[in-house]
Each structure stands twice: as structure tokens, then as C-alpha cells.
Amino acid sequence: MPSCARLATALGGLFQIPTRRVWQPAAGWQPAPQEHCAILEFLSPALANKAGWRTQMKIHEYQAKSLLACYGVAVPRGEAASSSEKAAEIAEKLGGAVVVKAQIHAGGRGKGGGVKVAKNPQEAREIASKMLGMRLVTHQTGPEGRIVQKVLIEETLPIERELYLGIVLDRAQGKNVFMASADGGVDIEEVAAKTPERILRETIEPGLGLTAFQARKLAFGIGLTGDAGNLAARSVVALTQANDAMDATIAEINPFILTKDGKVYALDAKITLDDNALFRHPDLAELRDVNEEDPLEVEASRFGLNYIKLDGNVACMVNGAGLAMATMDIIKYAGGNPANFLDVGGGANEEQIRNAFRILLLDKAVQAVLINIFGGILRCDVLATGVVNAARELSVGVPVVVRMEGTNVEQGRQILRESGMNFTVADGMRDAAEKVVALASQGAAA
Ligand code: GDP
Ligand code: MN
């Protein structure tokens, strides 16, 4: 057994880490290899979050709203569309004036131009046709933005006030906290930063749930009295029930609105689901939208590769999560920056190696590749053949450093030498890291 796998098994046993599940588009939810979870969770929760066994799954606003409606939260009438014709058709059905909302897995759309009012179906068609396919940049998407693939077409409502309702886990208390504010809308982050006292909080006791008293206190606390107060208290309870029933990690309505005729609605909704509970909710698991995930990561998951894109320029191909972590560390130690985390798995085949190599090279930032493999179940000759075949097919424009040890290492080296390609064969991990970092910085300078 390779040493990294042994370490991982030891860690897994020690910390009793439950088996996680990985999503594989062809096969659905599969148990994640124990060793990967153990190491990632133990060493780097943030990385585990980004990895194939993400701990959270985001869904779209239109999906969140239809789920919340099932639990009794009032939402505007509306429907999602992926074409401008369909958008106009929905607007027609809704009676003319509508709001067109970009559906991406990020907030801040209002300020970024992803929420527009249309006076009639013709205008809805025009706005939708501009919005669909556009690259929407908001403060939550990063500079690269997201391509809009769907829009939500909704009836417009006469807004009197924009409020905020949300549930998050308070890790310090180990309990969910219900938050409500009279200052909802697009500037809630600023409210939280500058006037935190404007956000009311009620801790949800796990054994009790949110009590009717707490719900009313929150509703009245954000300025809703009389019938509107009762309606709001009911929404507060409904949101709590929805959050529990779906095993959500975040359930947020911002803005929660009061209309001029005294009704309340969820005008926006954000729900994030706990991946580890998705096996209990196959219907919710189907709401996953891979269009919203990093395309290289989705591509890698098709071949059962654990790939996470990072922002350096040294691509790494490694077998075993522990060795991959160590490789990233030693690249840093040598003064470089890894472009990715890639664990091809202990028993990768030639096909997977070829695809792994291809995916690594699709990243434009890559200036050099380090292949660091400990040949156990994956034999060095299989690795070398996969790499050589991939390199032939892909016309590799960057230097490749290979460090390998283990089963059939001599045959592996021979295959690399005889390939006629310019691989740098390294002697040990430190040598490999130093060589690859030097080559990458030469590439970056050129
Ligand atoms: P976010 O910016 O991504 O959180 O998107 P929201 O759905 O919260 O929309 C941002 C803002 O657009 C809201 O705070 C509202 O002021 C406005 N907005 C959203 N939906 C409607 C609507 O149906 N009618 C009107 N008049 N304004 C809306
Ligand atoms: Mn919002």
C-alpha cells in the first residue's frame, strides 16, 4: 500500500470520518474513497469544500422559490425560461408587466444588471434575449462572471418595503440562528457590517424548533404588525420548516417584501443544500446545475478524477490525495504555485491518465507540468504509456517533469526516454519540484 494511502487510512480510522459521496454524472452519487476524504477533511476543509465531495450544493432562485412555495412561503407567480420566445410567452400568461431575472449561482445580480423590469411581453422578449448568453459579473462571481443560461420571468409586485429573512448555522453555538432585518434588499452586507444591531437574531433550539413566540417577535421586530405581522410570522415558520426538511445549510429570503396591499412575498430566495444529506433527497440532488460549476472540474468528474483548479502555473498530476497535498506543498516550498490539485486515484488506467493530462493542459495559466506518481496499483509503465499517448495527441507546448517510483519504474522510465519527447525525468520529490518551478518561471518570463 502506498504510504499516503496508509496515512489516510490511519487518519480515517482515527477520526472516524464517515464515508462521503461523490457525484459522478454518469453514475449518480457514489461513495467517495475513504482515504481522500480523510486527508482532505483533516488537512484542508476549504479544499474538501471545493473538491468533488463538495459539502454544499447550490440551487437556482427559481428552484428555491418553488421549493419554498411547497412549505407555505408566498412567492410571486413566475416560470423559468431558456429562450426569449418562452420568456415572452410566460410574460403574456402573467398579464404583461414582468421582472426578468438572470439565474446564476451567485447574488448581487440586481446591481450587476441581472434583474430588469419589462412593461410588456415584447420588452420581456428583448431583455431576455440580451440577458441569455450574457456574461454577468457581480461582486459574488469574481471578474470572470457567469454565463446566463436561464432567466426567471415573474409578475411584478407593488413593493412597499424590502426586508430580510435568513437561517444560517452559528458554528460557535452549534445551532441554527434565524436572522431578520427591516433593512433588506441589495445592501444587506453593508447593514451587517455597519449596523449589525439592525439584524435581529433568534437561536433555533434543535429539540424545540423555532417557537411561535420567536416567529412573532421577529415579524414584529422588523416592523410588521396586524395581518402583515401574522403573515410574516407564518413565513418565518415556513422557512424554518423548509430549511430543516431539506437539510439546507443556508436558506435566505432577500428581499422579503411587504406589498402596498399588505401582503408579504419572497422576492428572492437562496438555498444551499448539505451534500452529505443529499442521499436522503434524490429529488433535490437532481437540481444540480453543472453549468454553474468550473467546466474543467466537471470535465474531470466525468472521468472519476478529483481535480480542483487553483490559480498558480505549475500543473500537477498525482495519485493519491495525500501525495497530491504533499506535492502542492513542495511546489510552494520550491517557490512556485500549483495550478491545480489533481488526484488521478490509486488505480487509474491509461484512459484516465490521458484525460487527466488533457484537462491539465486546458488550463491556459499552466507553464509547466509535474507528474508525481507512486506506482502501486497504478504501475509506472501504464502511467508512462498514458502520458506519452496523451502528449502525442495533444502537442504539449509546456515542459513536463516526471518523478515516479514504485512498480515497474524502470519500464516506465524507458517508455519516457524512448518516446522521443522532451520529458525531464527527476530524481526525487525535491529535485522534481525545483526543476518544474524553474521551468515554469522560464515559461512565464518568455
Ligand atoms: P440579487 O441582487 O442577486 O440578490 O437579486 P434580487 O432578486 O434580490 O433582486 C435585487 C433587487 O431587484 C431587489 O432588491 C428588488 O429591489 C429588485 N427586484 C427584484 N425582483 C423584483 C420584482 O419582482 N419587482 C420589482 N419592482 N423589483 C424587483
Ligand atoms: Mn437578493
C-alpha Rg value of the chain to the nearest Å: 26
Q: What is the pLDDT of residue 211?
A: 96
Distance 222 CA to ligand 1 centre (A): 19
Q: CA 126, CA 135: separation in Å to the nearest integer?
A: 17
pLDDT per residue over 336-349, tens digit each?
A: 999 999 998 877 88
202-229: buried (b, 16+ CB within 10 Å) or exposed (e) per residue?
Answer: bebeeeeebeeebbbebbeebebeeebb
Confidence of residue 233 (pLDDT cuts 50, 70, 90): very high
Q: CA 284, CA 275: separation in Å to the nearest integer?
A: 10
410 given a catalytic annotation: no
- CB contact at 8 A, 124 and 118: yes
Amino acid at 79: E
Hey, which bits of 407-445 come out as E strands? 423-425
- CB contact at 8 A, 173 and 203: yes
Q: CA 444, CA 446: separation in Å to the nearest integer?
A: 6
Q: What is the pLDDT of residue 375?
A: 87
Higher pLDDT: 197 or 24? It is 197
Q: CA 107, CA 146: separation in Å to the nearest integer?
A: 11
Task: Burial-class residue 125 by CB neighbours within 10 Å (0-12, 13-18, 19+).
Answer: buried
- Assess whether pLDDT exceeds 60 at residue 25: no
Q: CA 256, CA 75: separation in Å to the nearest integer?
A: 10
Q: Which three cell numbers stand for residue 164?
A: 430580510
270-295: buried (b, 16+ CB within 10 Å) or exposed (e) per residue?
Answer: bbbbbbbebeeeeebbebbbeebbee
Higher pLDDT: 277 or 2? It is 277
Closest protein CA for atom 23 of ligand 1: 156
Among all bound ligands, the one having the nearest atom to the CA of 115 is 1
31-40, 129-138, 377-386 — most confident range: 129-138
pLDDT per residue over 304-321, tens digit each?
A: 888 888 889 999 999 888
Q: CA 177, CA 206: separation in Å to the nearest integer?
A: 10
Neighbours of 17 (CB within 10 A): 17
- CB contact at 8 A, 157 and 76: yes
Mutation to probe ligand 1, out of 117, 138, 267 (largest number of atoms < 8 A from CB): 267
- Assess whether pLDDT exceeds 50 at residue 39: no
Torsion angles phi and psi, residue 270, rounded to 5: -130, 120
CB-side neighbour CA atoms (13 Å) of 368: 29
The DSSP secondary structure of 242-292, one letter per residue, reads HHHHHTEEEEEEEEEEEETTS-EEESS-EEEEEGGGGGG-HHHHTT--GGG
Least reliable range by pLDDT among 126-135, 251-260, 328-337, 387-396:
387-396
Q: What is the pLDDT of residue 23?
A: 54
Hey, what long-range contacts does 172-176 have (CB within 8 A, 24 or more apart)?
A: 173/203, 175/203, 175/204, 175/205, 175/206, 176/203, 176/204, 176/206, 176/243
Percent of the chain with pLDDT over 90: 67
Q: What is the pLDDT of residue 95?
A: 93
Distance 61 CA to ligand 2 centre (A): 9
Q: Which three cell numbers stand for residue 167?
A: 437561517
Q: How large is the average pLDDT for residues 85-91?
A: 98
Find the angle CA(355)-CA(353)-CA(310) to the nearest 5 degrees: 70
Q: Which member of 164, 297, 350, 434 is catalytic?
A: 164
- CB under 6 Å to ligand 1: residues? 76, 99, 101, 107-110, 115, 117, 154, 156-157, 159, 162, 185-186, 254-255, 267-268
Percent of the chain with pLDDT over 70: 88
Q: CA 123, CA 427: separation in Å to the nearest integer?
A: 65
Q: How large is the average pLDDT for residues 30-57?
A: 45
Among all bound ligands, the one having the nearest atom to the CA of 265 is 1
Confidence of residue 260 (pLDDT cuts 50, 70, 90): very high
- Rounded to 10 degrees, the C-alpha dihedral 253/259/263/264 comes to 10
Distance 269 CA to ligand 2 centre (A): 7
164 given a catalytic annotation: yes
The DSSP secondary structure of 12-56, one letter per residue, reads HHHHTPPP-EEEETTTEEEEPPHHHHHHHHHH-HHHHHHSTT-SE
pLDDT per residue over 323-337, tens digit each?
A: 999 999 999 999 999
* DSSP count for the chain of H helices, then E strands: 17, 21
Confidence of residue 12 (pLDDT cuts 50, 70, 90): very low
- Assess whether pLDDT exceeds 90 at residue 49: no
Q: Which of 360, 376, 341, 319 is nearest to 53 (CA)?
A: 341
Q: How large is the average pLDDT for residues 11-24?
A: 41
Confidence of residue 35 (pLDDT cuts 50, 70, 90): very low
Give yes or no for a cis peptide into 399 (omega within 30° of 0): no
Least reliable range by pLDDT among 113-127, 361-375, 381-395:
381-395
Q: What is the pLDDT of residue 262?
A: 97
Q: What is the pLDDT of residue 24?
A: 56
Q: Which three cell numbers stand for residue 401?
A: 517533469
Neighbours of 267 (CB within 10 A): 25
Question: Which residue shows C-alpha cell 513542495?
Answer: 330
Distance 169 CA to ligand 1 centre (A): 25
pLDDT per residue over 347-359, tens digit each?
A: 788 888 889 999 9
Q: CA 264, CA 13: separation in Å to the nearest integer?
A: 50
Residues 6+ apart with CB under 8 A from 369: 314, 315, 316, 317, 357, 360, 361, 396, 398, 399, 400, 401, 436
Confidence of residue 54 (pLDDT cuts 50, 70, 90): very low
Confidence of residue 56 (pLDDT cuts 50, 70, 90): confident
**pTM above threshold 0.85:** no
Closest protein CA for atom 14 of ligand 1: 185
Closest protein CA for atom 8 of ligand 1: 268
Closest protein CA for atom 18 of ligand 1: 115
Confidence of residue 204 (pLDDT cuts 50, 70, 90): very high
